[in-house]
Amino acid sequence: MQQLLNGLFIGAIYALFAIGFTLVFGVLDRLNLAHPAVFAVSAFVGIELVEVAGLSIWLTLPIVFVVGGILGMVIERVAFRPLKDRPDAHFAGLISSIALAGMFIALLQWRYGPDTRRFPADSFPSTTFTVFGAQVTVVQVAILVISVVLMVALTVLVARSRLGRGMRAVAENPTAARVLGINVDRVTMTTFAISSALGAVAGALFAMNVNSAQLTMGTAIELKGLAVIIVGGMGSLPGALVGGLLLGLAEVFAVQYIGSSWRDLVAFGLLFLILLVRPQGLFGARKVREV
């Protein structure tokens, strides 16, 4: 039971991280490899806010959300927009976002040094619950609730709102969307902002969950995020949610029954299986090739 819950908590963070990844891919058909850097930046910013400004950890989340949004706009403006008409925009976007990510991480190193950082000792509420015989902290419950709420909110936003309609129109056909009066550049930028904001919250939550932040934390989750969006189906929001939870659970049980050194293989085994058996992912729609 304890394992099941632990798997859910970590899975919720994977899902929240991956949903930002998949949003950009689904709408814009671009893989933003600066996403993991946003994840890391926000963890450090969160810790700084608690440590220096003395904010409660709950207050840091909305701030981190905004910071992430701003980073998202920077990423779009600097690394993606200048490339959009290039024939090799796919590869070029990968490289430019990797480059930008490298700059973010270098700046982090400048500000905070290369060492692992932690929240101040008394920043977490010490209340714990017992659920079905398992120990659960307030922070863990909050992680699960916040992640799920954000993901549901995003799904509703995409399905119902005017902005969401714009996103789906751009995903279908950017040129047609532009002709129909949608401001494609603004929709694109907003998509990046939302995506990065979610990635930022995921980063802060992750730092709370393990109470540490390292410069390399983005790289570790990046591969898992990629696995999650493939397993769930590229561009599928519910797919990312289910895929993230599934991966979290699978990892925890792999550690339990196979051994911790094999934990990281789970993600890739799952991913490979899906690519071979059902390349469009659990929730993805197969795209019909056009002639």
Partner 1 sequence: MFSESTLVFIALGAIFAYSFYAVLVAGQLSLGQAGFASLAAFTGATLAPAPDDVGDLPALLIAIVIGMSVGAVTAVVLGLPTMRLRGVFLAIATLAFAEAVRILIINMEWTGGAQGMSVPKVVEPWMAWAILAIVAYWFWRQGNSRYGRALEAIREDELAARAMGIDVGSHRLSAFVSAGALAGLYGVLWAFFVRLLAPEDFGFAKAIDGLVTAVVGGSTAFFGPPLGSFFLEMVPEVQRAIGIEAGWIRPFLASLLMLLVILFLPGGLASLLPRRSQKLVLASSGDDAGSLTQRVHPAPGETVVQLAGLGKDYGGVHANKDIDLHVTGGEVIGLIGPNGAGKTTLVNMISGLTRPTSGTAEVLGLQPGRAAVHKIAAAGVSRTFQHSKLFARLSALENVMVGGHLVSKPTFLRRLLWLPSARRDEQQAARHAASCLERVGLADKAGNKASALSYGDQRRLEIARALASDPSLLILDEPAAGMNHVEADALSDLIASLASDGLTILLIEHNVGMVMKTCSRIVVLNFGEVIATGTPEEIANNPAVVEAYLGSSESEDAS
Rounded CA-CA distance 265/131 in Å is 30
Q: Which is nearer to partner 1, 10 or 234 (CB)?
A: 234
CB 116 to partner 1: min, Å:
15
Q: Which is nearer to partner 1, 66 or 265 (CB)?
A: 265
DSSP code string of the chain: -HHHHHHHHHHHHHHHHHHHHHHHHHHH----TTHHHHHHHHHHHHHHHHHTS---HHHHHHHHHHHHHHHHHHHIIIIIGGGTT-TTHHHHHHHHHHHHHHHHHHHHHHHH-SS-B---TT-S---EEEETTEEEEHHHHHHHHHHHHHHHHHHHHHHHSHHHHHHHHHHH-HHHHHHTT--HHHHHHHHHHHHHHHHHHHHHHHHHHHT-B-TTHHHHHHHHHHHHHHHH-TT-HHHHHHHHHHHHHHHHHHHHHT-GGGHHHHHHHHHHHHHHH-TT-SSPPPPPPP-
The residue assigned the tokens 């700084």 is: 48
Q: Which is nearer to partner 1, 185 or 264 (CB)?
A: 264
CB 78 to partner 1: min, Å:
7
CB 98 to partner 1: min, Å:
6
Q: Which is nearer to partner 1, 198 or 234 (CB)?
A: 234
Q: Which is nearer to partner 1, 205 or 254 (CB)?
A: 254
Q: Which is nearer to partner 1, 22 or 140 (CB)?
A: 22
CB 217 to partner 1: min, Å:
14
Applying CB under 8 A, the residues found at the interface with partner 1 are 25, 31, 78-79, 82-83, 86-88, 90-92, 94-96, 98-103, 105-107, 109-110, 114, 219, 222-223, 226-227, 230, 234, 261-262, 264-265, 267-269, 271-272, 275-276, 279, 289, 291
CB 276 to partner 1: min, Å:
5
Rounded CA-CA distance 47/213 in Å is 8
CB 58 to partner 1: min, Å:
31
Q: Which is nearer to partner 1, 92 or 163 (CB)?
A: 92
CB 170 to partner 1: min, Å:
18
Q: Are 74 and 195 in contact (CB under 8 A)?
A: no
